Amino acid sequence: MTRILANRVRVWLLVGLFAASVVLSGSISTTAQAQDKDPIKIGFSMALTGALAGGGQQSLLAMQIWAEDINKKGGLLGRQVELVFYDDQTNPKNVPGIYSKLIDIDKVDLIVSGYGTNLIAPAMPIAIEREMVFMGLFGMDNNSKWKYEKYFQILPAGPDPAVGFSQYWFEAVAGLKPKTIAVIAADAEFAQNLKKGAVTNAEKMGLEIVYEQNYNPKTADFTPILRAANAKKPDVIYIASYPNGSAGLVRALAEVGTDAKAVGGGMVGLQFSGLMAGLGPMLNGISNYDFFVPEPTMDLYPGAGDLIKRYQAKVKEDNLKVDALGYYLVPWSYAYVDILGQAVNAVGSLDQDAIADYIRDTKFSTVVGDVKFGKNGEWDRSRTIVVQYQGIENNDLEQFAKPGTRKIMLPADISTGELQTFGALRK
């Protein structure tokens, strides 16, 4: 009898275990709270954990600030805005299911992409199939294959993003009169696209590629790669890397050193506060792409400075565990939803065709200045900047919030410094 009772208890325990998971699932929601009845829902996946979480988390906060702002102004079409989002864990495998849920279950009205090329790619076909406007956040050339007319990308890399992304870096290092180049790139879609563009620019400049190496994104020790590159004695080294690889390569540079006159170019992650503070003086001399830095000439983005101040205050006040400075992604994450919002209000409806037509034909005024989209939904011109890390003395994060540590080399009209050789700044 006792045995039968024990068995029954076990059965109910098991049933309870599974029931609990299902019930729990219904009771907890990650979506933001609607502030009004019948809000306009904007759905997206975001890398809140995993390799790109550093970018994904700051993007989300910027988007939430935009939602607060737009709701204070009365929302879109007189309705409040609600952000509905799920963590894609920086794993493309999770993205199709998330967008299907957003559209079919959560019934979102609009969709935007998560952060990063690899996370945008799996969402593209769903947007295309549903014929929805799809705003992209920092995807590299995602639409070159699809040529989807309702896709728009906020990455300011120009109509040919792979080439436009590194164009200024090559123009900047041209002053050092290089003849040879080494190219090191992560084996990932974004980095490989960057590499293709860099090779095109190098060939245009007549540089001889003496070393070309892809590395596995899981690589931990980069010293063998750098030693192999150094053995070819390149005049400059172009690196296209993701955050983990960028940090590893900077550490390897500190250990191995190089005689190359310029190093950097397409290193993602060096713009993140955590990495900048962690690497500190090891960054000196590296020249890299960027989009917004606290230099006085960046006033060409009139709203960005204020937005970043609000973001930084929010991070401090709420003690949030996100990027403390937010220079890299905050203005752009705000802008890409803002453009969508402006288009919806201007069109006066949620008609996806009309919204897409409006975005395609309009020059938008945003926190990142004027934005006009061109071929394949990319920016009609490149506005990537080249900075060089200079005068970094310690690991204090605050120094990166002030002018002088990331001086702008190009474009010339907002330049705040002269490119120095890598070795001259490594003391």
The Cα 36–Cα 258 span in angstroms is 59
130 or 426: CB nearest another protein: 130
Closest contact distance (angstroms) between CB of 103 and another protein is: 8
Instruction: Pick one of 11, 231, 300, 412: the residue that binds another protein (CB under 8 A).
Output: 11
Does the protein bind another protein through residue 220 (CB under 8 A)?
Answer: no
Does the protein bind another protein through residue 97 (CB under 8 A)?
Answer: yes
Residues 6+ apart with CB under 8 A from 352: 131, 132, 133, 150
Does the protein bind another protein through residue 21 (CB under 8 A)?
Answer: yes
The Cα 252–Cα 235 span in angstroms is 18
Closest contact distance (angstroms) between CB of 10 and another protein is: 6
Residues 6+ apart with CB under 8 A from 27: none
Closest contact distance (angstroms) between CB of 191 and another protein is: 8
20 or 424: CB nearest another protein: 20
- 156: three-class secondary structure by DSSP: coil
Closest contact distance (angstroms) between CB of 200 and another protein is: 17
Does the protein bind another protein through residue 109 (CB under 8 A)?
Answer: no
Q: How many residues does the chain have?
A: 427
According to CB under 8 A, which residues from 41 to 60 bind another protein? 49
127 or 237: CB nearest another protein: 127
Beta bridge partners of 406: 389
CB atoms within 10 A of CB 364: 20
DSSP code string of 224-267:
HHHHHHHHT--SEEEEEE-HHHHHHHHHHHHHH----SEEEEEE
Closest contact distance (angstroms) between CB of 233 and another protein is: 27
Does the protein bind another protein through residue 3 (CB under 8 A)?
Answer: yes
Count of residues near another protein by CB under 8 A? 55
Does the protein bind another protein through residue 188 (CB under 8 A)?
Answer: yes
Nearest one of 234, 132, 255 to 183, comparing CA atoms: 234
CB atoms within 10 A of CB 187: 15
According to CB under 8 A, which residues from 116 to 155 bind another protein? 118, 121-122, 124-126, 129, 145-146
359 and 133 Cβ atoms separated by less than 8 Å: yes
Interacting residue ranges for another protein, rule: CB under 8 A: 3-4, 7-8, 10-11, 13-14, 17-18, 21-22, 24-26, 28-30, 49, 86-89, 91-98, 100-101, 103-105, 118, 121-122, 124-126, 129, 145-146, 186-189, 191-193, 214, 216-217
